[in-house]
Chains A and B, each alone.
With several copies, the nearest count.
Chain A
């Protein structure tokens, strides 16, 4: 019903165009073997070269490859400098460098971990929760190995950029008070025991994909809910920043916040449209709905703030945009333009309420609202993805079962990430003799305390 309305443009067109092709099915024209970012067979890129069936089909498409090389660059751009600036600007001046270094170090560290074992554990093999070790250190991956129509090297690097930004997102929750050494240990453990298994469960043909056929086109659960929950747990375990919430902690550089949000927006096209692994109509529509949902969310946040607080703030419209980007992520392969507006507006509303009212009510100190925006926005998106989904092949609405799959994947991710995060924090606590910076260090600021530098000499 409602779903029919919001996904209409797609199915309508499918009829008109006399083409059954729809994202998420096996018949999406020339991009068939890569059209489902969530398809067990192809998600574990390596399989492409293992199954003889696809062996012969596998021919490199230079257009798809061109797009995916760029998409990879765009997703890296999201973390450095995008996310770094978004968070760095929100921080107080005395902590800006600690944010930037944490994002940079996370980029370097995750790149190495993903190369050495991450890719293999996530994308190779077909266990329920973890993959296998067949591709440790990229064993067997060379210049000519393909994944669908693109080189496996490109698929590997593209997925690497996801493995970089997801832990980096968490940084915003425990910002301004966690020891740098503890950050690195925590993120390493969380990456290994939460990111990789959830990836495998959802995209690698594991539990969630197999048993529940949950849809997560570009990473609503794997990336955003996963990171959002880790952030919530971390900021609660760490405790509040000195003076929170009594003394205001305004962003030290709002223009940085907006540059960061803008780069996240632009880079997100690589994230969502890139998840199609091809330059085709599905990718084009993914980019379109990403743009529309983001605009709807930013506009909604702005208006709600304007009405309730009397003024639309710069940080508000930027945060709204990010909320929209998060929410549309899982749906970007299946929803239509009108559905995108709905997803965006909904996430704008709900995330605004979480980041303002709910946080105040519960009193946790999620420094930059990682849970409020990524956790909650991811959940909103995951559920609406099920709501607006239409199986164009049959034309029948299957909301019930779809929704069930989405709900399960959300719950599994929440529990898994929460448990792993808590344990990882305790281990970091042991190894670093406390994960929290000393009172004096926190007061002096982590720029100098952790990195021996000041942010600016102005």
Chain B
């Protein structure tokens, strides 16, 4: 099994979710994170002094899929999350040794 971690722009979450649903992926876990990279932040002002905020709000999406479902899932994510502007984010793929569904103790692909 593969774990796909995607860091995307927050307002793209809904579209990505729908895109994944279309390729049959019905489970995922998301977290609010802050991202630092090429995309420049904005400046804020407090009592006359300005400072730059360069950690930008992003959404981190984690999906564990069967090996063969991987390519489809990655494509779905990248195409749905793309705006073409700096800061669209990244997708990272890694390997999962085992997956277990707590409720049923099913393991492997059945657990997903």
Contacts and interface: CB of A to CB of B under 8 A. Distances in A.
A404 B42 CA distance: 49
B45 interface: yes
B50 A309 contact: yes
Closest 9 CB pairs of A and B: A356-B48, A248-B51, A452-B45, A250-B46, A452-B44, A309-B45, A313-B45, A355-B47, A448-B42
B11 A245 contact: no
Interface of B: 11, 14, 42-51, 53
24 contacts: A245-B49, A248-B46, A248-B49, A248-B51, A250-B44, A250-B51, A251-B46, A305-B48, A309-B48, A313-B45, A313-B46, A316-B45, A319-B47, A356-B47, A357-B48, A360-B48, A444-B42, A448-B42, A452-B44, A452-B45, A452-B50, A453-B45, A454-B44, A454-B53
A443 interface: yes
Contacts of A448: 42, 44
Interface in A280-316: 305, 309, 311, 313, 315-316
Nearest to B85: A440
Interface residues of A, number: 25
Contacts, number: 48
A316 B48 CA distance: 8
A269 to B, nearest CB: 26
Nearest to A448: B42
Given A305-B45, A309-B48, A369-B47, 4 more contacts: A305-B48, A315-B46, A356-B48, A452-B42
Interface string A234-263: 000000000001011111000000000000
B49 A360 contact: yes
A158 B42 CA distance: 42
Given A247-B14, A443-B11, A355 B48 contact: yes
A352 B44 contact: no
Contacts of B53: 454
Contacts of B14: 247
Scoring B14, B45, B47 by chain A CB atoms within 10 A of each residue's CB, the highest score goes to: B47
B44 A453 contact: yes
A309 B86 CA distance: 26
Contacts of B47: 315-316, 319, 355-356, 369
A309 B49 CA distance: 9
Contacts of A369: 47
A151 B42 CA distance: 51
B43 A356 contact: no
Contacts of B11: 443
Given A247-B14, A443-B11, A453 B46 contact: yes
A319 B50 CA distance: 17
Contacts of A315: 46-47
Nearest to A443: B11
A454 B55 CA distance: 13
A356 B48 CA distance: 5
Given A247-B14, A443-B11, A452 B48 contact: no
Contacts of A356: 47-49
B70 to A, nearest CB: 29
A313 B51 CA distance: 14
Interface in A204-260: 245, 247-251
